[in-house]
Amino acid sequence: MDAIVLLRSQHRDVEKLFKAVDKGDLSVVPEICAALEEHARIEEDVFYPAVRDEVPDEMSTVLESLEEHLIVKRLVSELQGMDPDDDAYEAKATVLAENVRHHVREEEDELFPAVRSTLGRKRLAELAELMQRDAVRA
């Protein structure tokens, strides 16, 4: 495993679920919320701290990502506390999709390539290991 491969595969999983939302299927929203909570947690606990310490040029991208996580987490917790029949439920899910798609693009276009070229294969494997352990602990 490799930290970036792991994070990208989580991005693909959540994108697939958002496609269902695009088609009006809101039954997947709880699954999306759970997946995003998990994804944000392993990024915040393991990946971002490593990037801050070891890829200092990407510090500002990490800070931006953390701000985006705050918005995503707020939307997730609002959706989790809402009745799916509420008029605002679909609107909130759509705004969540837009935010997450932006976040994914930014990470995959800017952050991940810079991290990959700086950290190297061995360190990325170590980070994947730490992230998987972090996920189990939850």
**Which residues of this chain interact with Fe ion, rule CB under 5 A?**
107
Minimum distance from CB of 88 to Fe ion (Å)?
Answer: 25
Q: In terms of CB distance, is 89 or 132 closer to Fe ion?
A: 132
State the amino acid at position 42 in one-letter form: I
**70 Cβ contact partners less than 8 Å away, ≥ 6 residues apart:** none
Q: b/e for 34-70, b at 16 or more Cβ within 10 A?
A: ebbeebbbbbbbbbbebbeeebeebeebbeebeebbe
Minimum distance from CB of 39 to Fe ion (Å)?
Answer: 6
Half-sphere exposure of 52 (CA within 13 A, CB side): 12
110-76-48 Cα angle (round to 5)? 35
Minimum distance from CB of 54 to Fe ion (Å)?
Answer: 18
Q: In terms of CB distance, is 58 or 107 closer to Fe ion?
A: 107
Minimum distance from CB of 24 to Fe ion (Å)?
Answer: 25
Q: In terms of CB distance, is 27 or 60 closer to Fe ion?
A: 60
Minimum distance from CB of 36 to Fe ion (Å)?
Answer: 9
Q: In terms of CB distance, is 90 or 110 closer to Fe ion?
A: 110
DSSP code at position 67: H
Nearest residue to Fe ion by CB is 107
Q: In terms of CB distance, is 8 or 123 closer to Fe ion?
A: 8
